Structure 1
Amino acid sequence: MTQHLLQGRTEKEILWFQRRDALKAAAAWVAMGGLPAALAQQRSNIVQLTGDATVNGRPLNAQQTIITGDQLQTGPGSNLIFVIGNSAFQVRQNSNITVERGSTLNAVSLLRMITGAVVSVWGKGSSRAIIMPTLTAGIRGTGVYSEIFPNQRSYFCNCYGTVDLESQGQKTVSRSVYHQAFWGEVEAPNVSTLTPARPINHSDEELEFLAQLVGQRTTWQIAGRKGTKDGSGTMGY
C-alpha cells in the first residue's frame, strides 16, 4: 500500500478500502451498473456506510439516497462512501459537510466542509468547488483529499488534475499528476496563507477505489508508475 505521512489520523482510518465489506460493496456497485443503474432502479447511491451518520440532522441508513443540498455528519469511527453524478466521495469520521446543488439534481456545485476530512474524485465539469475555512479549491475534474484541522487550518492535496486554489486573497493554479499539497493557513500578519505541504493522511489506493466507482483511472494507474512523495505533484521525471 502506498500511504503518506499520518498527522492526527490513525492507520485504521486510512485502511478502510482494504475491508472485505468495502471491496464487496465496490464490486457490487460496479457490477450493477453504477449510478445510472441505481437511479433507474431507485436504489441508494450509498456504496457503503459503517458506523453512525446523519443527513439533515436525521439518522442516515445505507438504503437512503443522498441528494445535492443534503448536510451530512459522520460520528466517531464512521465511514461513508457515496456517489453523486460523476463524483465519488469518502467521508471520514467526525466530519460535517454539505453537498450543494449545481445545474441539476445530480450535479454537485460545492462541497462545503465545516469539520473533518473527505477523499473525493470528480469527473469533468464546470463551476464546482470545495470550500474550507481557510481555502477554496475550484475543481475542473480531479482526485483530491481535503481536511480541516482543529485550529481551522485547511489542508488540501490535489492528487491528480487541475485545481484553482485561493486562500484569503492568495491564488495559484495547481497542476498535478501525483499529489501536490497545500496548507490554507489561518490568517496572520506578514505570513503567506497558501503554503506548500507534504502528502498526509491519505493513500493512493483510496483514490483508486473511488475512481473505479465513477469509471476513472488515476494518473499513476494510467502511467503505470508512482511519482515522488514530496508534495510537488510530479512523477519525478
Structure 2
Amino acid sequence: MESLSEIDERRRRFLLHLLASAAFTTTVGCSSSSTGLTSELPPGRSIHALSGEVHVNGVPASVLTRINPGDIIETFDRSFVIFVVQKDAFILRSNSIMTLPGVTATPGIVSTAFTLERGKALSVLASRRTDISTPSAVIGVRGTGVYVEAEPDLSYVCVCYGTSDVTTRDDPDITETIVSDHHTGRYILADKSASQRIIPAPFKNHDDQELLLIETLVGRTPPYIVPRGVTRTRGSYF
C-alpha cells in the first residue's frame, strides 16, 4: 500500500484539481468565513449542519450537540447531519445508524473509524490506518475519502481518492485493494453463494462538492479563492 505521505499528496492534488475546475460551492451550515464560504469548524463544535430528526446516543441533537468517540448517531426520514470528530468529517444521510469507536489507541492495532449499521455516509479521514465496518464489508483505509452505503444484502463503497482494502466481513480471504484518483466503486455482496462477491459498481449518491465541504471543516482545503455560482450535482444531503 501507499505510504501516508503519498496518500496526503494524492489528496492534495485531488482537492487542487476540484478547486481549479470550480467544483466547490457554498452549503447550508454554521461555519463560514467572511466571504460566505465554508471554513474550518470552530473549537468546541462538532456539528456543521443538520436537518430533520437526528439523535446522538438516543437524544435529539441540535447544532450545539457535541459528538465524541464512542457515540451512536442516528438519522431518520429526510434528515442528515454534517459533523466532525477530531480530524475526521462526515455526512450521514437519512435513515442511517453510525457508531464511533471509543478511544482505544493500542500500538500495532488498526482501529475502526466507524461502523455503519445501515444507511449512507460520506467520510474524509485523517492520515492513519483504520477500518470502516458494515454488516457485509470491512474497508481498510489510510487517510481516504470514502462513501459507504449499508443494506441488508450488500454494501456499496466508493473510494473517492486514496487507497483502500475492501474485504467481505465473513471471509478475509475475499479482498481487493483499490487505488483511486477519482471515485472507484464496488458492491460487496452478503450472499456467501455468489460466484463473485466484490464487483464493480457505478459512481452514485455523492459528489465532489460534498467532499470539499467536509475536508474544509477539518482544515484540509488549500486556501485558494473558490469560484462562485457553481451548483451542486445533488439536490440535498438526505
CA distance in structure 2 between the partners assigned to 1:113 and 1:85 by the alignment: 18
Structure 1 counterpart of 2:161, which letter?
Answer: Y
Query: What per-residue deviation string (whole Å, max 9, x for no partner) do you get for residues 145-188 of structure 1?
Result: 00023x43100000001111111331111110001111011224
Residues 152, 97 of structure 1: alpha-carbon distance in 2 compared, 3 angstrom cutoff: farther
Query: What per-residue deviation string (whole Å, max 9, x for no partner) do you get for residues 55-83 of structure 1?
Result: 11121121110001001101111110111
Q: TM-score, normalization: structure 1?
A: 0.72
- Number of residue pairs aligned between Structure 1 and Structure 2: 190
**Which of the numbers 191, 195, 199 marks the counterpart of 1:191?**
195
Structure 2 counterpart of 1:27, which letter?
Answer: S
- Does residue 94 of the first structure (1) align with residue 95 of the second (2)? yes
Structure 1 counterpart of 2:28, which letter?
Answer: D
Cα RMSD for the two superposed structures = 2.6
How far residue 195 of structure 1 moved from its aligned partner, in angstroms, is 1.1
**Which of the numbers 106, 124, 134 marks the counterpart of 1:121?**
124
Gaps of 5+ in 2: 1-23, 106-110, 223-238
* Corresponding residue number in structure 2 for 1:215: 219
- Does residue 60 of the first structure (1) align with residue 65 of the second (2)? no
CA distance in structure 2 between the partners assigned to 1:50 and 1:144 by the alignment: 22
Q: TM-score, normalization: structure 2?
A: 0.72
Preserved CA contact (<8 Å) 1:158 1:181: yes
How far residue 102 of structure 1 moved from its aligned partner, in angstroms, is 3.8
* Corresponding residue number in structure 2 for 1:227: none
How far residue 190 of structure 1 moved from its aligned partner, in angstroms, is 4.9
Q: Percent identity?
A: 29
Preserved CA contact (<8 Å) 1:160 1:175: yes
* Corresponding residue number in structure 1 for 2:143: 141
How far residue 26 of structure 1 moved from its aligned partner, in angstroms, is 3.9
Structure 2 counterpart of 1:199, which letter?
Answer: F
Preserved CA contact (<8 Å) 2:39 2:217: no
- Which of 1 and 2 has higher RCO (CA within 8 Å, sep 6+)? 2
How far residue 103 of structure 1 moved from its aligned partner, in angstroms, is 4.2
Name the SS of the counterpart of 1:208 in structure 2. Answer: helix
Gaps of 5+ in 1: 1-16, 219-237
Structure 1 counterpart of 2:63, which letter?
Answer: A
